[in-house]
Amino acid sequence: SVASQVKLVVYDLLGREVAVLVDGKREAGTYHDAFDGSGLASGMYVYRLRAGSFVQARTMLLLK
């Protein structure tokens, strides 16, 4: 397995960074990282995962 620099960040819809869940080197594999949105308003957010040259962004809905 190969280690890569991994960053998982949550943004609001205005593009402001609201949380950094992961920022460091990780070995290949499956991981589960908790997101505590208790300090955020309900609404849509974007999370972006960057691992080496791989980048993926998705939206999520936070409901309280």
Q: Where are the chain's structural domains?
A: 4-30+43-62
10 near 17, Cβ under 8 Å? yes
Predicted pLDDT at 2: 86
- What's the CA gap between 22 and 43, in Å, rounded? 22
Q: What is the mean pLDDT of the chain?
A: 96
Share of the chain above pLDDT 90, in %: 95
In this predicted structure, the answer to whether residue 1 has a pLDDT above a threshold of 80 is no
28 near 2, Cβ under 8 Å? yes
Categorize the per-residue pLDDT at 43 as very low, low, confident or very high, splitting at 50, 70 and 90: very high
- Cα 48 to chain centroid distance, Å, stands at 5
